[in-house]
Amino acid sequence: MAEELRRTGLYDLHVAKGARMVPFAGWEMPVQYPMGVMQEHLHTRAHAGLFDVSHMGQVLVFPKDGKLETAALALESLIPANILGLAEGRQRYGLFTNDRGGILDDLMFANRGDHYLLVVNAACAEQDIAHLRKLADVEIRPVTDRGLLALQGPEAASVLARLVPDTGDMRFMDSRVFDWQGTELWISRSGYTGEDGFEISVPNDRLTAFAEELLTHPEVAPIGLGARDSLRLEAGMPLYGHDMDQAVTPAEAALDWSIQKIRRKGGERAGGFPGAERILTELADGPSVTRRGLRPESRAPIREAVTIFAGESGGEPIAQVTSGGFGPSVGGPIAMAMIDSAIPDGTILYAELRGKRLPVAVTALPFITPSYKR
C-alpha cells in the first residue's frame, strides 16, 4: 500500500494557483505552476519568488540547565562547527556527521538567546530528531505548529519590508523574531537560490494569509520544486541524497568552509564529533575527490547518474553526475559530480549520453555569482 503523503498548510493555495503537485520526501508538493519552470527560475533571479518549504523540519534545542553554553557544546558533539561562538541573532550552516566521516544531513542552526533553532531536511527530519535525542543535556522540541516560506530574489527585501518594516536592516545570516499583525514571525536572511532573500517561519493558522499577502505584490510569484532545483544547481549548492550522503565527507562535498578553524586540528575545540579523525585529516591534507562543476559543450543536458569518462573512447568510468540539468540564467546545461581533486578546472572530460560521449569542461562552482546581502 502506498504511503499517504502529508500536505503543508498551503496545499489549497497551491491547487488554487494551478500548481502541479508531486510526491517529495513524503509530502505532496508543487513542482511547478502555469508559468513553467524556466520562467519561474528567471522570475526569481529578476524579481522575487515565493517557495513553500513547510516540509522542512524545524526543531528547538533547549539546555536543561538553562545555560546556552550547555546546548552549544552538546550540539558540537554532533556537528563539526563553531556553535559556541555563534552570536545571538545569527545563523550558520552545519552538518550532522557519522562515525565514518560521512554526512547524515545538512542543516541551519540559529542562536535564539536561550536556545537554538535548527532547520533540517524533510526526508531526514525524523532521523535527525532521533539523533538529537541521544544528547542528555538538552531538551528537543520539534516545531509542529508552524510552516516555513522562502522569499528569494533581488526584490524580496523591498517586498518583505512593506509587510515587516525592520527586516530591511537584517544582514545575511541574521535570524530574528518580528511581529506581523500580532503574529510572531521567525525570519532569517538566507535561502537556497544564490539570491538575497529570507526564510520565514509562520504559525500554521496564519500561513495562508501571510503567503497570500506576499503574493498580492506584483514582484512576487509562487515557485515550485522544479525551479528551486535549477536555482540551487546554478548557485553550486548541494542537495542531500544526491550530491552528498552518508558515504560522502564534508571535504569531498566541498563543504569544508562550514567547519571553522576552532574545530579543526590545532583548534581550541578540535574534533569531538562523529568521524572527526577522517574529516580533520581530509581537511588538512585534501580529499582524493571533490564535488566539482561540469559545463557540457553541447546543448544536451546531462542529468543525475550519467557516467563520466576521461577520454572520448575506452577506459573505465571516473565519475557519475550527482546533479544536472539546464541552467536558465547560465543559458546552457550544467552539472555537478565527484571528480578527482588533482584534475584542474578547464579539463575536458566526457559524459556518455545514449551511447555517445559528449565533451564537458570541469568548472569552478558556483555557475553564477551569488548576490547575498552582506
Q: What is the largest CA-CA distance in the chain?
A: 66
Using alpha carbons only, give the angle 214, 12, 241 rounded to the nearest 5 degrees: 85
Residue 282 marked in a binding site? no
Which residues on adjacent β-strands are paired with residue 344?
none
Provide the b/e sequence for 260-299 (b: ≥16 CB within 10 Å).
beebbeeeebeeebbbbebbbebbeeebebbbbbbbbeee
Q: Is the peptide bond before 23 cis (omega within 30 degrees of 0)?
A: no
Residue 50 has, within 13 A of its CA and on its CB side, a CA count of 25
C-alpha cell at 248: 560522502
Give the β-pairing of 332-340 and 319-327: antiparallel
Please check whether residue 78 is in contact with residue 63, taking contact to mean a CB–CB distance below 8 angstroms: no
Binding residues: 199
Binding residues for substrate: 199
